[in-house]
Structure 1
């Protein structure tokens, strides 16, 4: 059974995690694995934001190698880390004095939406770990849970963005929050696509032991 590795934020655009997971400790390092990077690039073509996908995940090619499971795990964990960071950012904005009532309400709603998103992504990261332990209906049950939660997280992120659609709102606050949340939504969208790819390929290729 392949080890699953979780990822958390680091400095820069994307995020990494040194994590204890299941049966060992694995460390992601800057990759010198050309075949792994090629695998990531090919897989990221299934996403809506392939350049962002490659940029976030190519550093972990040594860990991901040719594993659809590890790729999905990394993508989900990057999304979770971004959601957590953005949730904290929006909470700080809420403490700004002088917000007009419309902006204040939108910020409060966004805080709730991002909290839901973080919770759902956290559950998804954990549930994906269970997917590695089962086959058949058990695997697909876990996969369905992950897909449902990631989809819900993406909906919550988009709901936050939509809350700032009013043109009368303060431009600086609106722009700052929308920029951060849209970035999270793009990464979450990519993660969902890679989870779907993993589930589909596992179902189609289980007899061939696709990782």
Structure 2
């Protein structure tokens, strides 16, 4: 058990370091106060506004005051964390000492997170086209983005659901749920920002 615990610590430590590093990218937000205020205002529409601001405050130069660029940045954060979580879960499947029920849940989660990474990747590509299209083409593409991001969030929640029950209590459950919950929260925020961009664009309130 001590060996298994040590392995979990070694797997978790790089995650903590990468998260801190990713959220601490050197950017002088004071040089773009309007963009910073814009991000804070838009993040109020999300379920996790403090996390939203924390993740996106480093994107003021590309975002400026563009809802599409803000949604794109949110998807980028979600994709990065989903890729990290997917890699982490895959490593757990190769660790000795995992109970059979946990192993099956891990295997299912690997599939869920793999699908999540694919859906978020496709969403980012599709959202990139939205600054150059209008009318029915816009509606179709933004609907694709909304569908894929929503599916990614469902897959993340499905992964966590697989570890419910007292039989799943232990390091495996704690480690995976911590990673995937983080992904689910940033994905939820990204979906809210995508929906906000789509609704305002359709209403004719903005061009980008």
Question: TM class, shorter-chain normalised?
Answer: 0.7 to 0.9
Mapped to 2, the partners of 1:90 and 1:43 lie a distance apart of 32
**Equivalent pairs, count:** 189
- Given that 1:117 and 1:157 are in contact with CA atoms closer than 8 Å, whether structure 2 keeps it comes out as yes
TM-score w.r.t. length of structure 2: 0.86
Give 2:19's match in structure 1, choosing from 12, 36, 40: 12
- What are the superposed Cα offsets for residues 24-69 of structure 1, whole Å, 9 maximum, x if unpaired? xxxx944231110100000001100000000000111122111001
1:57-206 matches, within 5 Å, as 57-205=56-204
Unaligned runs of 5+ residues in structure 2 are 1-16
Mapped to 2, the partners of 1:14 and 1:204 lie a distance apart of 38
- What are the superposed Cα offsets for residues 103-142 of structure 1, whole Å, 9 maximum, x if unpaired? 0000000000000000000000000011111011111110
- What are the superposed Cα offsets for residues 6-39 of structure 1, whole Å, 9 maximum, x if unpaired? xxxx9434748xxxxxxxxxxx944231110100
Query: Residue 50 of structure 2 corresponds to which residue in structure 1?
Result: 51
State the 1:166 CA deviation: 1.9
* SS in structure 1 at match of 2:89: helix
Mapped to 1, the partners of 2:21 and 2:128 lie a distance apart of 21
State the 1:91 CA deviation: 0.4
State the 1:170 CA deviation: 4.2
Mapped to 2, the partners of 1:109 and 1:96 lie a distance apart of 16
- What are the superposed Cα offsets for residues 147-169 of structure 1, whole Å, 9 maximum, x if unpaired? 00000000000000000002112
Cα RMSD after superposing both structures: 1.7
Mapped to 1, the partners of 2:102 and 2:28 lie a distance apart of 41
Unaligned runs of 5+ residues in structure 1 are 1-9, 17-27
Mapped to 2, the partners of 1:11 and 1:104 lie a distance apart of 26
Mapped to 2, the partners of 1:169 and 1:155 lie a distance apart of 21
TM-score w.r.t. length of structure 1: 0.85
Bigger relative contact order, structure 1 or 2 (CA pairs below 8 A, ≥6 apart): 2
